[in-house]
């Protein structure tokens, strides 16, 4: 269907395909007339918010008739204390997705370029294309590499040119789950020209720390062009509240705050996120559940004859070694929602989030049935 206003849009927007989120359970149940579906498609925390965040939400509810603190002073102060930076180095976002887009809006123009890796998070190309900038995609590691389909630091360095202004880099990466080790990552950041902004997306840091993935927030002081993005959507279980943040040099934060929309984090989001920082027991329970989930899903999928990539996140990328679409459809009919990643150029793969023990077993049983049905 022709869009009558498309010719009025910015050139980059005309070519955009919108981001497609994971299918909500209620939509699947409505479409197929089924009940009791489970969603392991969006890398959410199956435990949800912890008790401290829930209590803070209840306490903050009477204030939703008023605008939030536009500066987010309390949350920014807490984050600055947590990471050993000053408050003027913290920029809040409506999820870390918001921060990633703010960076493109702040630093990219049609005359400039941004670099990201093949199979990188889908928001990077959307943000770059909307800005009108040119995308330079660095080839990923080959499938036989210890980090198959993951970032290749040498390829990323080779993609940097005189017009490069931003490098987007997720560690660990979504949708592959793979990561770059500390020495390799800091060597890459150190080799980037000073006028190129390195955006390090650490959305899954709490999970990846257990695998030895570095905490790059400690590197901001010695790399002024480094921006580290984090989120409360994953390990803290606040995906529905949309709270993220960036740590950077104060001068970069100043520019981001010129573009950032006022009140971009809600009253409830500010309160719950600040409280969640104190709920270490909930985070530890989340990490333990995820540790068991990765092991069980990896073991079960491998036993079904499938290939599973290494992961330092709360999901696994599974290579079905055949077109994934029929398997995905069979899973949906059984009320199991996972994530097809054909839009990433991976038509034979499915990304599966870890869930509760019961959900993980249900995924494995549904996968076995789907594979048998499509043998």
Q: What's the pLDDT tens digit per position in 338-358?
A: 999 999 999 999 999 999 999
* DSSP line for 232-280: SSSTT--GGG--EEEE--HHHHHHHHHHSPTT-S-HHHHHHHHHHTT-H
Average pLDDT, the chain: 94
pLDDT for 19 equals 65
Mean pLDDT of 3-17: 76
pLDDT for 332 equals 96
CATH code linked to domain 8-39+281-373: 3.90.1150.10
6 contacts 14 by C-beta, under 8 angstroms: yes
Is the confidence at residue 16, as pLDDT, over 90? no
- pLDDT tens across 94-148, in order? 999 999 999 999 999 999 999 999 999 999 999 999 999 999 999 999 999 999 9
Is the confidence at residue 286, as pLDDT, over 70? yes
Residues of the chain with CATH 3.40.640.10: 62-276
Is the confidence at residue 187, as pLDDT, over 80? yes
Q: Is the pTM of this model over 0.75?
A: yes
Class of domain 62-276: alpha beta
Measured CA angle at 36 (ends 328, 242), to 5 deg: 80
Mean pLDDT of 159-187: 96
Distance of CA 44 to the CA centre of its chain: 10
Residues of the chain with CATH 3.90.1150.10: 8-39+281-373
């Amino acid at each position: 269907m022709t869009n009558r206003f498309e010719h009025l849009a910015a050139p980059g927007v005309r070519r955009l395909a919108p981001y497609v989120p994971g299918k909500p359970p209620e939509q699947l149940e409505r479409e197929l007339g089924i009940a009791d579906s489970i969603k392991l498609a969006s890398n959410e925390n199956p435990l949800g918010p912890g008790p401290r965040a829930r209590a803070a939400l209840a306490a903050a509810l009477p204030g939703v008739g008023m605008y939030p603190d536009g500066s987010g002073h309390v949350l920014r102060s807490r984050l600055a204390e947590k990471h050993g930076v000053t408050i003027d180095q913290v920029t809040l976002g409506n999820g870390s997705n918001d921060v990633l887009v703010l960076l493109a809006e702040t630093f990219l123009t049609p005359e400039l370029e941004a670099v990201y890796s093949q199979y990188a998070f889908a928001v990077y190309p959307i943000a770059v294309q909307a800005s009108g900038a040119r995308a330079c995609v660095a080839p990923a590691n080959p499938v036989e590499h210890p980090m198959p389909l993951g970032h290749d630091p040498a390829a990323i360095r080779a993609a940097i040119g005189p017009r490069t202004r931003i490098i987007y880099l997720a560690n660990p990466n979504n949708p592959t789950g793979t990561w770059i080790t500390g020495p390799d990552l800091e060597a890459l950041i150190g080799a980037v020209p000073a006028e190129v902004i390195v955006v390090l997306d650490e959305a899954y840091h709490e999970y990846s720390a257990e695998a030895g993935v570095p905490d790059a927030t400690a590197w901001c002081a010695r790399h002024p062009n480094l921006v580290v993005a984090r989120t409360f959507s994953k390990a803290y279980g606040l995906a529905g509240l949309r709270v993220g943040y960036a740590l950077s040099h104060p001068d970069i934060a100043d520019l981001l705050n010129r573009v950032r929309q006022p009140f971009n984090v809600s009253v409830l989001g500010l309160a719950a996120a600040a409280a969640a920082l104190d709920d270490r027991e909930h985070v530890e329970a989340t990490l333990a559940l995820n540790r068991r989930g990765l092991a069980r899903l990896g073991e079960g999928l491998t036993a079904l004859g499938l290939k599973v990539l290494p992961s330092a996140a709360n999901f696994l990328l599974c290579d079905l070694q055949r077109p994934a679409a029929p398997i995905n459809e069979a899973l949906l009919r059984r009320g199991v929602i996972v994530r097809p990643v054909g839009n990433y150029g991976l038509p034979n793969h499915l990304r599966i989030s870890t869930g509760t023990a019961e959900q993980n077993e249900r995924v494995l049983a549904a996968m076995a049935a789907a594979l048998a049905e499509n043998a």
